[in-house]
Amino acid sequence: MEFPRPSCSDGPIWDVWLAAFHAPSLAVADELGVFATLRDRALTSDELAATLEIEARAAEAMLGLMAALGFLAQADGRFHLTDVARDYLLPDSPFYWGGFLRRIRTIPIDCNKLISGLRRGTAAQEARVSGALWRAPQPPPEALHSFTHAMHAHSFSLAMRTVGAFRLDGITRLLDVAGGSGSYSIAATLNDPKLRSTLLDLPVVCGIAREYAQKHGVADRVETVAADMFSDPWPTNFERVFFSDIFHDWDDERCRLLAKRAFDALASGGRVMVHEMVLADTKAGPLAAAAYSMVMVFVAEGRQRSTRELAELLTSAGFTDVRVTMTAEGYALVDALKP
């Protein structure tokens, strides 16, 4: 009797399953203070377990995984921080990802909710970000506060690493739409002392943005305008209108509306700038962008798009001369001219 044999390895499924524990483990290590404890001294797993008063087996497993992921290195049996951990996992770093890791701990991915919403055809309306926050008549301030700090952790390093590619030399007036904590406004004004940025977002978010601008010494050049980007008037006569990780939250109809409002807010000769992680035209990759598009299915109404699709959204509003610049981490800046 012949037994069935698989035609290929199930390694890819193993990889996906085990990867599901990477982010929660990082979030647990952050909350326990693993990285802060290792800031100034290297420790063995037993020494860390004793210091943090946690199980030795857990410390061994956690330190091993953090080292395999590149956040720790090991020498003579002791673990110490890598540069990545020092930049992004220490609470006093300006690029600390703690706000985002807190959301991983407190708002776990809910597969059953998504399945139910997809089967009812209500997943987009019930999305916890674009649905629960931006479409609520009165978004809960505490939810906006948590989300905005998490997005600052997600965006500020990327902003500081990419803003030099945005061709803002000689520009003095930038409108940062749904600019959140001000990551890109702050990065842009730090990069060019002549630039002034106006950040448009909901009132609670504007308050947080002012705090971050003050912290980074640019509060005198980052103005905030409290407004709903879909329904309230926008200030006008800007040289650049900027969106980062905004179009991916919304369907094409809403994105076309934002593009048209950007067109109206720009002076003639100005340019709209859309910064997004982009898919290939086939939609089958790259992996990071394809995964990010699935994140949007879980939490928002939108999806990641290709540069071609972003360009079509902009030209539908009257923009011409579309340019594409790859920046970092799979992101592209798609910018276009208002004739």
Identify the pLDDT of residue 270.
98
Q: Report percent pLDDT > 70 for the chain.
A: 97
Tens digit of each residue's pLDDT (9 = 90 or more) over 276-305: 999 999 999 999 999 999 999 999 999 999
Identify the pLDDT of residue 1.
75
Q: Taking Cα atoms as reference points, which of 77, 67, 75 lies closest to residue 35?
A: 67
Q: Taking Cα atoms as reference points, which of 149, 338, 158, 164 lies closest to residue 240?
A: 338
Quote the CA–CA distance of 194 and 239 in Å, as a whole number.
13
Burial code (b: 16+ CB inside 10 Å, e: under 16) for 97-117 equals bbbbbbbbeeeeeeeeebeeb
Tens digit of each residue's pLDDT (9 = 90 or more) over 168-192: 999 999 999 999 999 999 999 999 9
Quote the CA–CA distance of 133 and 229 in Å, as a whole number.
13
Q: Which residues contact 296 (CB under 8 A, 6 or more apart)?
A: 248, 249, 302, 303, 304
Q: Taking Cα atoms as reference points, which of 104, 26, 9 lies closest to residue 70?
A: 26
> Distances from the Cα of 84 to the Cαs of 73, 80, 89, 95, 211, in angstroms?
11, 11, 8, 10, 26
Residue 132 has pLDDT above 70, yes or no: no
Q: What is the mean pLDDT of residues 242-257?
A: 97
Q: Taking Cα atoms as reference points, which of 5, 220, 10, 64 lies closest to residue 72?
A: 64
Q: What is the mean pLDDT of residues 69-91?
A: 98
Quote the CA–CA distance of 228 and 329 in Å, as a whole number.
29
**In the Cβ-directed half-sphere of 149, how many Cα atoms lie within 13 Å?**
13
Answer for the pair 272, 204: CB distance below 8 angstroms, yes or no: no
Residue 137 has pLDDT above 90, yes or no: no
Quote the CA–CA distance of 215 and 53 in Å, as a whole number.
35
Q: Taking Cα atoms as reference points, which of 145, 161, 52, 65 lies closest to residue 102?
A: 145
- For the entire predicted model, the pTM comes to 0.94
Answer for the pair 54, 31: CB distance below 8 angstroms, yes or no: no
**Please, which residues bridge with residue 74 across strands?**
79
Domains by residue range for the chain, with CATH? 11-105 (1.10.10.10), 110-337 (3.40.50.150)
Q: Look over the chain and give the mean of its residue pLDDT values, rounded to a whole number.
A: 95
3-class secondary structure, 2: coil
Q: In the structure encoding, which two tokens stand for residue 236, read together?
A: 């006008």
Quote the CA–CA distance of 305 and 67 in Å, as a whole number.
34
Identify the pLDDT of residue 74.
97
Listing from the earlier edge strand, what are the strands of the sheet with 331-337?
A: 222-226, 196-201, 173-177, 238-244, 266-277, 331-337, 320-326
Tens digit of each residue's pLDDT (9 = 90 or more) over 3-44: 888 999 999 999 999 999 999 999 999 999 999 999 999 999
Q: Which residues contact 179 (CB under 8 A, 6 or more apart)?
A: 185, 197, 199, 200, 201, 209, 242, 244
Q: In the structure encoding, which two tokens stand for residue 226, read together?
A: 């409290």
Answer for the pair 158, 329: CB distance below 8 angstroms, yes or no: yes
